[in-house]
Amino acid sequence: MSRYTKSPEAVAALTPEEYHVTQESGTERPGTGKLLNNTEPGIYVDIVSGEPLFASSDKYESGCGWPSFTKPIEPAHVAELPDRSLGMVRTEVRSTHGDSHLGHVFPDGPADRGGLRYCINSASLRFIHRDDMESEGYGEYLNQVEDVT
């Protein structure tokens, strides 16, 4: 059994915006997310389940208004599903264990880094600084995080 689960307590602790994004497949307004301009070393985890999703070393400035990543830190923790809402076909990204809506993935990322852009809502993420990863139980991912200081 996974140590990453969606609990009623975690859902109850969400802010209204976090709830709307993660539980109702909402989207935060572009340019407003608390983690958009974060450049600190660390990892981004699902705000509901805590499962590791993205590393700071895979984050880049795409100009789209949401945090963008080239790949998941743990591919098994990111599910990709067809999304036909808004009259178009996109690929929705959800956390595997928390079933949180994270955002979407597009094929317009940096070609030299795989060509994908994971466009993720800040409201679906919790950032864990590199200095706190070991104490918070994410030490196994330290080798995937560049120390940018």
119 is catalytic: yes
Under 8 Å between Cβ of 10 and 88: no
Q: Residue 73 sits in which domain range?
A: 8-134
Helices (H), the chain: 8-12, 16-24, 130-133
Examine residue 123 and state whether it is found in any structural domain, yes or no: yes
The pTM of the full predicted model, rounded to 2 decimals, is 0.94
At 148, the pLDDT band (50, 70, 90 cuts) reads: low
Under 8 Å between Cβ of 49 and 66: no
At 147, the pLDDT band (50, 70, 90 cuts) reads: low
Q: How far is CA 115 from CA 59, 65, 107, 146, in A?
A: 13, 18, 6, 21
Cα-to-chain-centroid distance, residue 141? 15
Model confidence over 60-104: pLDDT tens digits? 999 999 999 999 999 999 999 988 887 778 999 999 999 999 999
Q: What is the CATH number of the domain that holds 86?
A: 2.170.150.20
Examine residue 3 and state whether it is found in any structural domain, yes or no: no
Examine residue 148 and state whether it is found in any structural domain, yes or no: no
Number of domains in the chain: 1
Examine residue 140 and state whether it is found in any structural domain, yes or no: no
Q: Residue 57 in 3-state DSSP?
A: helix
* pLDDT over 50 (residue 149): no
Examine residue 65 and state whether it is found in any structural domain, yes or no: yes
H or E stretch covering 94: strand 90-95
How crowded is the C-beta side of 132, counted as CA atoms within 13 Å?
A: 10
116, 119, 125, 128: the catalytic one is 119
Model confidence over 7-41: pLDDT tens digits? 999 999 999 999 999 999 999 999 999 999 999 99
